[in-house]
Structure 1
Amino acid sequence: MNREILVLADALAREKSVPKEIIFQALEQALASATKRLNKERIEARVEIDRETGDYKSFRRWLIVPDEEFVDPDNQMMLREAHEFDTSKQMGEYVEESLEPIPFGRIGAQAAKQVILQKVRDAEREQVLEEFLSRNDQLINGTVRRIDRGNVIVESGRVEGVIPRDQLISKENFRVGDRVRAYVLRVDRQARGPQLILSRTAPQFVAALFELEVPEIEEGVIEIKAVARDPGLRAKIAVKSNDPRLDPQGTCIGMRGSRVNSVTNELAGERIDIILYAEDTAQFVINALAPAQITSIVVDEERHAMDVVVNEDNLALAIGKGGQNVRLASELTGWQLNLMSEEQSANKAEAEAVRLRNAFMEKLDVDEEVAQILVDEGFSTVEEVAYVPLGELQAIEAFDDDTVQELRTRARNAALTEEIAKEEVLENAADDLKTLEGVDTELLMKLSRFGITTRDALADLASDELCAIRVLPEERARALIDNDFADLTDEERQQMSRSDAKAATQLIARARESWFAAAQ
């Protein structure tokens, strides 16, 4: 009988073109299942087949678990009990005891066959998958085999993949037998069905199609630096040439638009803007917002945002239909873009100057004239006044030496007071709030002034309340919250931009998820 095991393993391995080890593992699993079924007690079994002789041994085993997790004496064992068998055993290992091997012929033939065939099918599928992945193909070109609950099953040779319904372009409608091209989004090795998860909406799909149409991209002469998409409607693709003699935009467009039109036709008519990439981020943003003409850009490195100023005639063009143009430009460049007219920009600059002036008057105890001079000279924080080189302050014509020394002394005292206040806030804030992703010291300071010192208190806020606390001056934020935002001005609405509101919503969501996880 043992020889029959070896013959069976060898025959199946050659017939199915799978490693013999896979067959042995399937046989061991079938024998272990049969051992468990034939045993009167509910046990965990393991079978080990000798690959040379075909002899096999059976074992009953118990998993070593902590005392507080010990609930199943038939299959579990506490560590102190395990050490009575073997002192070298550790938590999470197994204690085994030999069993009388069951005869091979007593296994239910159908059950053994199913286990073995399933293992063989899994091995064959894995082999096909590995062959496909070894080619590093980003695109799959196949035929629609069937439609399953809106998901499109695609067959390409021996490889099968699935395009989930949410990865299909909305206006597309495929039927069985249609040719389809898609991007390999990921591999799901745990899936029972197709393991290749495909997409026609991923930004990478556009990049892969251009690489197929433009040989210069495959050769590395032209690089695709970024892609942003509104699938089926519009896309922006940033390109860069590594050869100064080559125009990357013209090369990607092709003669009479032949190359870009091929990609557009594949994407159900999706309009594609080819943008010239620039190392200078401001210039890159200007390119990305084309054809709108930009008047000026103010960069906020701390918030990773830009205030983009355009004249009134270009504002609608820059925003695009439903905000599409600015949204794609923001996604393409990786910067938060706040579009505003020249009038809005001037109002915002004036509001910021007033805020800074009031802050200097309050913290340095100076009059409006001195505070305005500091603002005009480009100072924005008390720390800058306290620690810039002395010569910079002395260079201000309106200040004499005594004024400079007094300003530095007051600024350093104010900075020290702020630092002490920060330490007190950090001490008083709960650990679950301090460790929450997205909460920094500056936000902790603002939240503490509203009495919010725990994660639960943050979770109770509405997103617009948190957005106001983060963005607007304290007194104004309190007034708006108390008034249910009834008198929110256009300028304040501009300050509380869509991205700020989204960030506030995400932060509150994380706080609530953390609370529910802790409660469970």
Structure 2
Amino acid sequence: MAITSANQLELLQTAEAVAREKMIDPGLVVEAMEESLARAAKSRYGAEMDIRVSIDRRTGKATFTRVRTVVEEEELENYQAEFTVEQAKQYLADPVVGDTFVEEIPPVEMGRIAAQSAKQVILQKVREAERDRQYEEFKDRAGTIINGTVKREEYGNVIVDVGRGEAVLRRNEKIGREAYRPNDRIRAFIKDVRRESRGPQIFLSRTAPEFMAELFKMEVPEIYDGIIDIKAVARDPGSRAKIAVISYDGSIDPVGACVGMRGSRVQAVVNELQGEKIDIIPWNEDQPTFLVNALQPAEVSKVVLDEEAGKIEVVVPDEQLSLAIGRRGQNVRLASQLTNLDIDIMTEAEESERRQKEFEIRTKLFIETLDLDEFFAQLLVSEGFTNLEEVAYVELDELLVIDGVDESTAEELQARARDFIEAKNRAAMEAARELGVQDSLVAFDGLTPQMIEALAKDGVLSLEDFATCADWELAGGWTTVEGERVKDDGILEPFGMTLETAQDMVMTARIVLGWVDPAELAAENEETETETEEEAEA
């Protein structure tokens, strides 16, 4: 096939037809044609030549040109596409390195093989353009709900036709034992859109908490308008869910608005989620109050919050225990997900027994360490003293309020407590020294002798060793293994070390050792704070 005046316009017509069919820019199709014609010309004139083709967007005329670039003599490698300054003087007036010489060459006759190759190039370019268009279209729709039609099922994964592309609903993203047949209508949440070599991959989900939130946004106009906000969602897909809502208009009840007249709004969501039972809970900034709401329908007697550890203890009447925990622990598990807290549920009897045990342990501690009789030790515990440090370093007036304690008795109590603590510290430091602890770690602020001994027993003997520790290694943490949360014990966790304190101490150690520049760290923290503020404003 020769590119003659007879078929020049056919190039543009073909480009426009392909672009309309694939819904892409006609210019991209023309560029693909130019590349395919250039490739065919190279097979005719020589693969090492730099041959370019330009198609006029109005007339369809294809112009073939050969380009040669001026390079330094020692860099000359490709004699067909490059030449030296001396050689270029035959074609250019004052050639310098980087100049190009362009000359038009005759169009090529395209044989069957060349035409087939050109067709493959065009198809490849069109496919790439189509994939880019699909990615650009769907990447901005991530986080929204989409309707589609089931095309087929492969190994439990459902392939969904979503209009201009295909999406995948994986087996673990389906609710319960959902089964779909070809041509079934399906509604799902676009969880992720990725650009991959085989084209954009669109991943759907029907189990994501965000899916439920988006469904409520569709059913409840107040949520769509921003009058009511969904603060948290926890789901056991297909079985039960909890959703926390808040109203920014005092005249609108958020729970009632989400339930709707005779439950019409929530029922529409329940039907879409295969009968999943939904508890709609009023959100509260006060975590204990919010947790009491989250554990509904169970009644709660008392809540004890440990903010530093991120744990919360809930005391319920004996007859409410099974209701609070729920079938297979479902109720407490969803409440934990909703509040983002570790919840420990106990009955009133268990809590009373625990308090009595703690009372006995603290009483025994004061009896053994301060050489007191049982009655006097119980007085200390009853007044709220829990350890020797509190007795040793508290203001003297706080001891004088105890019945039967005068100034000399209080001073004697504090002296005994301090002597015991100092002896314990000396023993801990001697044990640490025997294990080989170095002065750099001993001199580091924030570590008690008992902490240093615990570190030494774990092989942390120097400030360098300490600086390489992760925060969770010191303070402890949680790891998810096969869907179950597993506790990681921290070296300094028994001493009340928190993750925040561990992070600060490790970073301070790295600064002392010169591993981290304080100025750079301050700049990074400022940048992070700025980004956080911008995200919050957005």
**TM-score, length of structure 1 as denominator length:** 0.66
Q: Compute the displacement of 1:328 (Å).
A: 0.7
Question: In structure 2, what is the equivalent of residue 166 of structure 1?
Answer: 172
For 2:417 and 2:10, locate their aligned partners in 1 and report how far apart those are by CA, in whole Å. Answer: 89
The C-alpha deviation readout for 1:323-354, integer Å capped at 9, x for no partner, is 11111111111111111111222222233444
For 1:332 and 1:439, locate their aligned partners in 2 and report how far apart those are by CA, in whole Å. Answer: 24
Question: In structure 2, what is the equivalent of residue 441 of structure 1?
Answer: 474
The C-alpha deviation readout for 1:289-329, integer Å capped at 9, x for no partner, is 11111111122223211121111211111111111111111
2:207 counterpart of 1:201: yes
The C-alpha deviation readout for 1:77-121, integer Å capped at 9, x for no partner, is xxxxxxxx89xxxxxxxxx954746x9869854445334323322
For 1:442 and 1:431, locate their aligned partners in 2 and report how far apart those are by CA, in whole Å. Answer: 18
SS at match of 1:256: helix
For 1:395 and 1:46, locate their aligned partners in 2 and report how far apart those are by CA, in whole Å. Answer: 100
Contact 1:164 1:198 in 2 (8 A): yes
SS at match of 2:301: strand
Q: Which runs of 5+ in 2 are unaligned?
A: 56-62, 82-106, 426-446, 478-483, 496-538
Change (3 A) 1:314 1:392: same
Q: Compute the displacement of 1:128 (Å).
A: 3.5
2:340 counterpart of 1:334: yes
Aligned match for 1:427, one of 438, 448, 460: 460
Question: In structure 2, what is the equivalent of residue 409 of structure 1?
Answer: 418
Aligned pairs (5 A) from 1:232-251: 232-251=238-257
Contact 1:289 1:325 in 2 (8 A): yes
For 2:197 and 2:304, locate their aligned partners in 1 and report how far apart those are by CA, in whole Å. Answer: 49
For 1:339 and 1:46, locate their aligned partners in 2 and report how far apart those are by CA, in whole Å. Answer: 78
Which amino acid letter does the alignment assign opposite residue 195 of structure 2?
Answer: R
Change (3 A) 1:178 1:405: same
Which amino acid letter does the alignment assign opposite residue 271 of structure 1?
Answer: K
Contact 1:298 1:307 in 2 (8 A): yes
Which amino acid letter does the alignment assign opposite residue 166 of structure 1?
Answer: N
Q: Compute the displacement of 1:144 (Å).
A: 1.1
2:290 counterpart of 1:284: yes
Change (3 A) 1:411 1:221: farther
SS at match of 1:263: helix
Which amino acid letter does the alignment assign opposite residue 421 of structure 1?
Answer: E
2:186 counterpart of 1:154: no
For 2:37 and 2:355, locate their aligned partners in 1 and report how far apart those are by CA, in whole Å. Answer: 76
Change (3 A) 1:50 1:296: farther
For 1:269 and 1:368, locate their aligned partners in 2 and report how far apart those are by CA, in whole Å. Answer: 64
Question: In structure 2, what is the equivalent of residue 140 of structure 1?
Answer: 146
Change (3 A) 1:118 1:311: same
For 1:159 and 1:464, locate their aligned partners in 2 and report how far apart those are by CA, in whole Å. Answer: 38
Contact 1:32 1:46 in 2 (8 A): no
Pairwise CA RMSD: 4.7
The C-alpha deviation readout for 1:441-467, integer Å capped at 9, x for no partner, is 3559xxxxxxxxxxxxxxxxxx99987
Aligned pairs (5 A) from 1:436-515: 439-442=472-475
Q: Compute the displacement of 1:432 (Å).
A: 8.8
The C-alpha deviation readout for 1:181-238, integer Å capped at 9, x for no partner, is 0001011211626622110010111000000000000001111111111111111111
For 2:322 and 2:463, locate their aligned partners in 1 and report how far apart those are by CA, in whole Å. Answer: 46
Greater Cα shift, 213-222 or 375-384: 375-384
Change (3 A) 1:391 1:218: farther
2:238 counterpart of 1:260: no
SS at match of 1:244: coil
Q: Compute the displacement of 1:469 (Å).
A: 9.2
2:50 counterpart of 1:18: no
Which amino acid letter does the alignment assign opposite residue 402 of structure 1?
Answer: E
For 1:48 and 1:243, locate their aligned partners in 2 and report how far apart those are by CA, in whole Å. Answer: 69
Between Structure 1 and Structure 2, whose CA radius of gyration is higher?
Answer: 2
SS at match of 2:213: helix
For 2:49 and 2:396, locate their aligned partners in 1 and report how far apart those are by CA, in whole Å. Answer: 79
Which amino acid letter does the alignment assign opposite residue 213 of structure 1?
Answer: E
Contact 1:2 1:55 in 2 (8 A): no
Which amino acid letter does the alignment assign opposite residue 18 of structure 1?
Answer: D
For 2:67 and 2:381, locate their aligned partners in 1 and report how far apart those are by CA, in whole Å. Answer: 85
Q: Compute the displacement of 1:127 (Å).
A: 1.6
Question: In structure 1, what is the equivalent of residue 103 of structure 2?
Answer: none
Contact 1:142 1:180 in 2 (8 A): yes
For 2:400 and 2:258, locate their aligned partners in 1 and report how far apart those are by CA, in whole Å. Answer: 56
Contact 1:216 1:222 in 2 (8 A): yes
Aligned match for 2:189, one of 183, 205, 213: 183
Change (3 A) 1:167 1:443: closer
Contact 2:220 2:265 in 1 (8 A): yes
The C-alpha deviation readout for 1:346-378, integer Å capped at 9, x for no partner, is 22223344455556667x655475655554333
Q: Which runs of 5+ in 1 are unaligned?
A: 60-84, 87-95, 445-462, 475-520
Aligned pairs (5 A) from 1:82-101: 98=78, 100=80
